[in-house]
Amino acid sequence: MSNTSLKIGFVGLGIMGTPMAGHLIKGGHQLFLNTLHSVPPELVAAGGRACASGREVAQNADIVITMVPDTPDVGKALFAEDGVAAGLSPGKVVVDMSSISPVETKEYAQKIQALGCG
């Protein structure tokens, strides 16, 4: 294993997202965090950086992970005015880990790819 620290964004810090983000921080990665309410203080204390929006997360991270409850929530997290897509630049990667519709997942992927991202 290498000691490479990645710049990872994490949007959605609920029951599943918070421990996942915590493990990434413990793994030595830089995390940029956003959630609907407030970023859990334990993640900030561990070294994560709270961001005001998905856009800010994407501007700072090379890889953005979304972990939100449902299909409409993913759409908002990605494509709202201040969402992840607004902060992406070519070459960045978006990973959705939500349990959502495969049809919308493909549509979202096409929109992200059109921005030069994977």
9-18 confidence digits (pLDDT tens): 999 999 999 9
Q: Is 2 a member of any domain? A: no
Q: Is 1 a member of any domain? A: no
Q: Is 17 a member of any domain? A: yes
Distances (CA, A) of 26 to 16, 22, 45: 16, 6, 12
Q: If you ran DSSP here, which 8-state letter would residue 95 be given?
A: E
pLDDT of residue 4: 82
What CATH number is given to the structural domain containing 54? Answer: 3.40.50.720
**3 pLDDT above the threshold of 80:** no
pLDDT of residue 1: 47
The number of distinct structural domains making up the chain is: 1
**28 pLDDT above the threshold of 70:** yes
pTM over 0.85? The answer is yes
**2 pLDDT above the threshold of 60:** no
| Full residue range of the structural domain in which residue 50 is found | 7-114
